[in-house]
Structure 1
Protein backbone atom coordinates (compact mmCIF):
# COMPACT_ATOMS: atom_id res chain seq x y z
CA UNK A 1 0.00 0.00 0.00
CA UNK A 2 1.40 3.35 -1.01
CA UNK A 3 0.65 6.67 0.62
CA UNK A 4 0.41 9.77 -1.52
CA UNK A 5 1.27 13.11 -0.07
CA UNK A 6 -1.03 15.79 -1.31
CA UNK A 7 0.42 19.20 -2.26
CA UNK A 8 -1.76 22.22 -1.64
CA UNK A 9 -2.77 23.83 -5.00
CA UNK A 10 -1.37 27.22 -3.94
CA UNK A 11 2.03 25.68 -3.16
CA UNK A 12 2.02 23.81 -6.47
CA UNK A 13 1.28 27.05 -8.34
CA UNK A 14 4.01 28.87 -6.42
CA UNK A 15 6.55 26.15 -7.23
CA UNK A 16 5.58 26.25 -10.92
CA UNK A 17 5.94 30.04 -10.98
CA UNK A 18 9.35 29.85 -9.30
CA UNK A 19 10.51 27.28 -11.84
CA UNK A 20 9.29 29.42 -14.75
CA UNK A 21 10.74 32.71 -13.45
CA UNK A 22 14.15 32.38 -15.19
CA UNK A 23 12.41 31.61 -18.50
CA UNK A 24 10.11 34.63 -18.14
CA UNK A 25 13.08 36.87 -17.31
CA UNK A 26 14.94 35.58 -20.38
CA UNK A 27 11.87 36.14 -22.58
CA UNK A 28 11.46 39.67 -21.23
CA UNK A 29 15.11 40.52 -21.81
CA UNK A 30 14.99 39.17 -25.36
CA UNK A 31 11.71 40.80 -26.37
CA UNK A 32 12.46 44.25 -24.93
CA UNK A 33 15.86 44.40 -26.58
CA UNK A 34 14.43 43.58 -30.02
CA UNK A 35 11.23 45.64 -29.75
CA UNK A 36 10.82 48.75 -31.85
CA UNK A 37 10.65 51.67 -29.41
CA UNK A 38 8.40 53.72 -31.69
CA UNK A 39 5.58 51.19 -31.78
CA UNK A 40 5.74 49.32 -28.49
CA UNK A 41 5.64 50.28 -24.87
CA UNK A 42 9.07 49.79 -23.29
CA UNK A 43 7.79 47.69 -20.37
CA UNK A 44 5.61 45.42 -22.50
CA UNK A 45 7.12 42.06 -23.48
CA UNK A 46 4.81 41.62 -26.50
CA UNK A 47 6.25 43.59 -29.46
CA UNK A 48 3.05 43.17 -31.51
CA UNK A 49 1.00 45.43 -29.22
CA UNK A 50 0.95 49.07 -30.27
CA UNK A 51 0.74 51.62 -27.48
CA UNK A 52 -0.59 55.11 -28.14
CA UNK A 53 0.50 57.86 -25.76
CA UNK A 54 -1.74 60.80 -24.90
CA UNK A 55 -0.48 63.70 -22.82
CA UNK A 56 -2.66 66.50 -21.49
CA UNK A 57 -2.08 69.46 -19.22
CA UNK A 58 -4.58 70.00 -16.41
CA UNK A 59 -5.19 72.89 -14.03
CA UNK A 60 -4.42 75.07 -12.35
CA UNK A 61 -7.18 74.13 -9.90
CA UNK A 62 -7.53 75.96 -6.60
CA UNK A 63 -8.91 75.47 -3.11
CA UNK A 64 -12.10 77.40 -2.42
CA UNK A 65 -10.17 80.39 -1.01
CA UNK A 66 -7.42 80.14 -3.70
CA UNK A 67 -4.69 79.67 -1.06
CA UNK A 68 -3.69 76.29 -2.49
CA UNK A 69 -3.37 75.22 -6.11
CA UNK A 70 -2.30 72.27 -8.21
CA UNK A 71 -1.55 71.71 -11.87
CA UNK A 72 0.23 69.14 -13.95
CA UNK A 73 0.00 66.61 -16.74
CA UNK A 74 -1.77 63.33 -17.42
CA UNK A 75 0.17 60.84 -19.53
CA UNK A 76 -1.87 57.86 -20.73
CA UNK A 77 -0.34 54.91 -22.56
CA UNK A 78 -3.25 53.05 -24.17
CA UNK A 79 -3.21 49.66 -25.92
CA UNK A 80 -6.69 49.12 -27.41
CA UNK A 81 -5.80 45.63 -28.71
CA UNK A 82 -5.40 44.25 -25.20
CA UNK A 83 -7.79 46.70 -23.49
CA UNK A 84 -5.10 48.00 -21.17
CA UNK A 85 -3.66 51.35 -20.19
CA UNK A 86 -1.23 52.97 -17.83
CA UNK A 87 -2.10 56.45 -16.59
CA UNK A 88 0.40 58.72 -14.88
CA UNK A 89 -0.64 61.90 -13.05
CA UNK A 90 2.20 64.25 -12.26
CA UNK A 91 2.44 67.87 -11.29
CA UNK A 92 3.02 70.42 -8.57
CA UNK A 93 1.05 71.28 -5.44
CA UNK A 94 1.46 74.89 -4.28
CA UNK A 95 0.92 76.09 -0.71
CA UNK A 96 0.04 79.81 -0.75
CA UNK A 97 -0.96 80.09 2.95
CA UNK A 98 2.02 79.60 5.27
CA UNK A 99 -0.17 78.88 8.31
CA UNK A 100 -1.92 75.99 6.59
CA UNK A 101 -1.18 73.05 4.30
CA UNK A 102 -2.20 72.45 0.70
CA UNK A 103 -3.81 69.06 -0.01
CA UNK A 104 -4.46 67.42 -3.36
CA UNK A 105 -6.84 64.46 -3.39
CA UNK A 106 -6.49 62.17 -6.40
CA UNK A 107 -9.33 59.72 -6.99
CA UNK A 108 -8.59 56.99 -9.57
CA UNK A 109 -11.33 54.67 -10.84
CA UNK A 110 -9.95 51.31 -11.94
CA UNK A 111 -11.22 48.09 -13.45
CA UNK A 112 -13.67 46.01 -11.45
CA UNK A 113 -15.41 49.14 -10.16
CA UNK A 114 -12.76 50.03 -7.59
CA UNK A 115 -11.48 53.46 -6.47
CA UNK A 116 -7.89 54.17 -5.41
CA UNK A 117 -7.23 57.33 -3.39
CA UNK A 118 -3.97 59.23 -3.15
CA UNK A 119 -3.41 62.35 -1.06
CA UNK A 120 -0.54 64.76 -1.52
CA UNK A 121 0.00 67.19 1.36
CA UNK A 122 2.42 70.11 1.40
CA UNK A 123 2.94 72.53 4.29
CA UNK A 124 6.15 74.23 3.17
CA UNK A 125 6.85 77.21 0.96
CA UNK A 126 6.69 77.06 -2.82
CA UNK A 127 5.58 73.69 -4.20
CA UNK A 128 5.89 69.93 -3.93
CA UNK A 129 6.16 67.69 -7.00
CA UNK A 130 4.11 64.50 -7.17
CA UNK A 131 3.81 61.51 -9.49
CA UNK A 132 1.15 58.76 -9.32
CA UNK A 133 0.90 55.88 -11.80
CA UNK A 134 -1.75 53.16 -12.13
CA UNK A 135 -2.83 50.53 -14.67
CA UNK A 136 -6.29 49.83 -16.09
CA UNK A 137 -7.70 53.27 -15.27
CA UNK A 138 -11.13 54.48 -16.40
CA UNK A 139 -11.35 57.88 -14.72
CA UNK A 140 -9.16 60.29 -12.70
CA UNK A 141 -10.48 63.18 -10.61
CA UNK A 142 -8.63 65.73 -8.47
CA UNK A 143 -9.63 68.21 -5.76
CA UNK A 144 -7.52 70.87 -4.04
CA UNK A 145 -8.17 71.70 -0.38
CA UNK A 146 -6.42 72.96 2.73
CA UNK A 147 -5.74 71.42 6.12
CA UNK A 148 -4.01 72.45 9.30
CA UNK A 149 -0.48 71.22 9.90
CA UNK A 150 -1.38 68.60 12.53
CA UNK A 151 -4.75 67.21 11.53
CA UNK A 152 -6.43 65.46 8.66
CA UNK A 153 -9.52 67.70 8.63
CA UNK A 154 -9.90 69.27 5.19
CA UNK A 155 -11.47 72.68 4.61
CA UNK A 156 -11.77 75.23 1.79
CA UNK A 157 -12.41 72.26 -0.49
CA UNK A 158 -12.38 73.02 -4.19
CA UNK A 159 -14.55 71.24 -6.74
CA UNK A 160 -13.79 67.75 -8.03
CA UNK A 161 -12.29 68.08 -11.52
CA UNK A 162 -12.10 65.24 -14.04
CA UNK A 163 -8.64 65.20 -15.59
CA UNK A 164 -8.82 61.85 -17.43
CA UNK A 165 -11.74 59.87 -18.84
CA UNK A 166 -10.99 56.71 -20.81
CA UNK A 167 -14.18 57.03 -22.86
CA UNK A 168 -13.46 60.59 -23.92
CA UNK A 169 -9.70 60.61 -23.15
CA UNK A 170 -10.05 64.10 -21.62
CA UNK A 171 -13.02 66.11 -20.38
CA UNK A 172 -14.65 68.60 -22.73
CA UNK A 173 -13.46 71.53 -20.56
CA UNK A 174 -9.81 70.93 -21.43
Structure 2
Protein backbone atom coordinates (compact mmCIF):
# COMPACT_ATOMS: atom_id res chain seq x y z
CA UNK A 1 0.00 0.00 0.00
CA UNK A 2 1.15 3.52 -0.78
CA UNK A 3 1.61 6.04 2.03
CA UNK A 4 1.09 9.77 1.52
CA UNK A 5 2.13 12.69 3.73
CA UNK A 6 -0.07 15.75 3.21
CA UNK A 7 1.18 18.98 4.76
CA UNK A 8 -1.55 21.44 5.73
CA UNK A 9 -1.31 24.81 7.42
CA UNK A 10 -4.67 26.54 7.27
CA UNK A 11 -3.80 28.61 4.20
CA UNK A 12 -5.99 28.88 1.12
CA UNK A 13 -3.99 26.00 -0.32
CA UNK A 14 -4.88 23.49 2.41
CA UNK A 15 -8.18 22.52 0.79
CA UNK A 16 -6.43 22.00 -2.53
CA UNK A 17 -3.81 19.82 -0.79
CA UNK A 18 -6.63 17.73 0.69
CA UNK A 19 -8.39 17.43 -2.68
CA UNK A 20 -5.16 16.41 -4.40
CA UNK A 21 -4.42 13.95 -1.60
CA UNK A 22 -7.86 12.38 -2.02
CA UNK A 23 -7.34 12.18 -5.79
CA UNK A 24 -4.00 10.37 -5.39
CA UNK A 25 -5.30 8.12 -2.59
CA UNK A 26 -8.26 6.99 -4.72
CA UNK A 27 -5.95 5.93 -7.53
CA UNK A 28 -3.31 4.21 -5.41
CA UNK A 29 -5.29 2.85 -2.45
CA UNK A 30 -2.96 4.90 -0.26
CA UNK A 31 -3.04 5.59 3.43
CA UNK A 32 -2.83 9.28 4.28
CA UNK A 33 -1.02 11.04 7.08
CA UNK A 34 -2.14 14.63 7.48
CA UNK A 35 0.57 16.70 9.12
CA UNK A 36 0.59 20.19 10.62
CA UNK A 37 3.88 21.54 11.96
CA UNK A 38 3.95 24.38 14.46
CA UNK A 39 7.17 26.08 13.50
CA UNK A 40 9.67 28.07 15.49
CA UNK A 41 8.76 31.39 13.86
CA UNK A 42 8.94 33.40 17.05
CA UNK A 43 11.80 31.59 18.75
CA UNK A 44 14.56 32.07 16.18
CA UNK A 45 15.86 35.34 17.57
CA UNK A 46 16.90 36.55 20.98
CA UNK A 47 13.94 37.37 23.21
CA UNK A 48 13.38 41.10 23.40
CA UNK A 49 13.86 42.88 26.71
CA UNK A 50 10.58 44.73 26.98
CA UNK A 51 11.06 45.76 30.59
CA UNK A 52 12.97 49.01 29.93
CA UNK A 53 13.81 51.05 33.05
CA UNK A 54 11.05 49.65 35.18
CA UNK A 55 11.38 49.09 38.89
CA UNK A 56 11.76 45.52 40.09
CA UNK A 57 8.09 44.98 41.03
CA UNK A 58 6.76 46.41 37.78
CA UNK A 59 9.32 44.47 35.74
CA UNK A 60 8.37 41.19 37.42
CA UNK A 61 4.67 41.86 36.83
CA UNK A 62 5.29 42.72 33.17
CA UNK A 63 7.43 39.64 32.59
CA UNK A 64 4.80 37.42 34.20
CA UNK A 65 2.09 38.96 32.02
CA UNK A 66 4.22 38.43 28.90
CA UNK A 67 4.85 34.81 29.89
CA UNK A 68 1.13 34.27 30.45
CA UNK A 69 0.33 35.74 27.02
CA UNK A 70 2.94 33.52 25.39
CA UNK A 71 1.47 30.46 27.09
CA UNK A 72 -2.03 31.41 25.96
CA UNK A 73 -0.82 31.94 22.39
CA UNK A 74 0.83 28.51 22.34
CA UNK A 75 -2.36 26.86 23.62
CA UNK A 76 -4.38 28.58 20.90
CA UNK A 77 -1.91 27.47 18.20
CA UNK A 78 -2.19 23.87 19.43
CA UNK A 79 -5.97 24.03 19.47
CA UNK A 80 -6.05 25.55 15.99
CA UNK A 81 -3.67 22.88 14.69
CA UNK A 82 -5.82 20.09 16.10
CA UNK A 83 -8.95 21.62 14.54
CA UNK A 84 -7.27 21.98 11.13
CA UNK A 85 -6.19 18.35 11.20
CA UNK A 86 -9.55 17.07 12.42
CA UNK A 87 -11.50 19.00 9.78
CA UNK A 88 -9.19 17.79 7.01
CA UNK A 89 -9.37 14.20 8.25
CA UNK A 90 -13.16 14.29 8.41
CA UNK A 91 -13.31 15.74 4.90
CA UNK A 92 -11.07 13.02 3.46
CA UNK A 93 -12.96 10.24 5.23
CA UNK A 94 -16.32 11.59 4.03
CA UNK A 95 -14.98 11.51 0.47
CA UNK A 96 -13.97 7.87 0.75
CA UNK A 97 -10.33 7.80 1.86
CA UNK A 98 -10.16 4.73 4.08
CA UNK A 99 -7.04 5.25 6.17
CA UNK A 100 -6.33 8.76 7.45
CA UNK A 101 -4.14 9.62 10.43
CA UNK A 102 -3.07 12.99 11.77
CA UNK A 103 0.13 14.29 13.25
CA UNK A 104 0.63 17.63 15.01
CA UNK A 105 4.26 18.49 15.59
CA UNK A 106 6.33 21.27 17.14
CA UNK A 107 9.61 22.19 15.54
CA UNK A 108 11.15 22.66 12.16
CA UNK A 109 9.19 21.55 9.09
CA UNK A 110 12.24 20.12 7.33
CA UNK A 111 13.38 18.14 10.37
CA UNK A 112 9.86 16.74 10.71
CA UNK A 113 9.74 15.67 7.07
CA UNK A 114 13.16 14.06 7.36
CA UNK A 115 11.90 12.11 10.36
CA UNK A 116 8.73 10.79 8.73
CA UNK A 117 9.38 10.63 4.99
CA UNK A 118 11.05 7.22 5.21
CA UNK A 119 7.66 5.50 5.34
CA UNK A 120 6.10 7.75 2.70
CA UNK A 121 5.91 7.30 -1.05
CA UNK A 122 4.83 10.86 -1.80
CA UNK A 123 4.69 14.23 -0.01
CA UNK A 124 1.94 16.71 -0.87
CA UNK A 125 2.29 20.40 -0.10
CA UNK A 126 0.62 23.65 -1.14
CA UNK A 127 2.30 26.11 -3.48
CA UNK A 128 2.23 28.78 -0.77
CA UNK A 129 1.55 28.89 2.94
CA UNK A 130 -0.38 31.16 5.26
CA UNK A 131 2.19 33.95 5.28
CA UNK A 132 2.69 34.07 1.50
CA UNK A 133 -0.66 35.39 0.28
CA UNK A 134 0.86 38.80 -0.31
CA UNK A 135 3.41 37.43 -2.78
CA UNK A 136 1.23 36.19 -5.64
CA UNK A 137 4.07 35.62 -8.10
CA UNK A 138 6.40 33.79 -5.71
CA UNK A 139 6.50 30.26 -4.42
CA UNK A 140 6.29 29.78 -0.68
CA UNK A 141 9.58 29.54 1.19
CA UNK A 142 8.54 26.30 2.89
CA UNK A 143 7.75 24.75 -0.49
CA UNK A 144 11.27 25.47 -1.68
CA UNK A 145 12.75 24.08 1.53
CA UNK A 146 10.63 20.91 1.28
CA UNK A 147 11.47 20.28 -2.37
CA UNK A 148 15.19 20.82 -1.80
CA UNK A 149 15.44 18.59 1.26
CA UNK A 150 12.93 15.79 0.65
CA UNK A 151 14.23 12.48 -0.58
CA UNK A 152 10.76 11.42 -1.71
CA UNK A 153 8.76 12.89 -4.61
CA UNK A 154 6.84 16.07 -3.79
CA UNK A 155 3.50 16.88 -5.41
CA UNK A 156 2.63 20.59 -5.28
CA UNK A 157 -0.99 21.71 -5.02
CA UNK A 158 -2.10 24.92 -6.70
CA UNK A 159 -4.80 27.11 -5.15
CA UNK A 160 -7.62 25.37 -7.06
CA UNK A 161 -7.53 21.61 -7.48
CA UNK A 162 -7.84 20.25 -11.02
CA UNK A 163 -7.48 16.53 -11.75
TM-score relative to the length of structure 1: 0.23
Q: Which has the higher helix share?
A: 2
Q: Which has the higher strand share?
A: 1
Q: Higher relative CO (CA 8 A, sep ≥ 6), structure 1 or 2? A: 2
Larger radius of gyration: 1
TM-score relative to the length of structure 2: 0.24
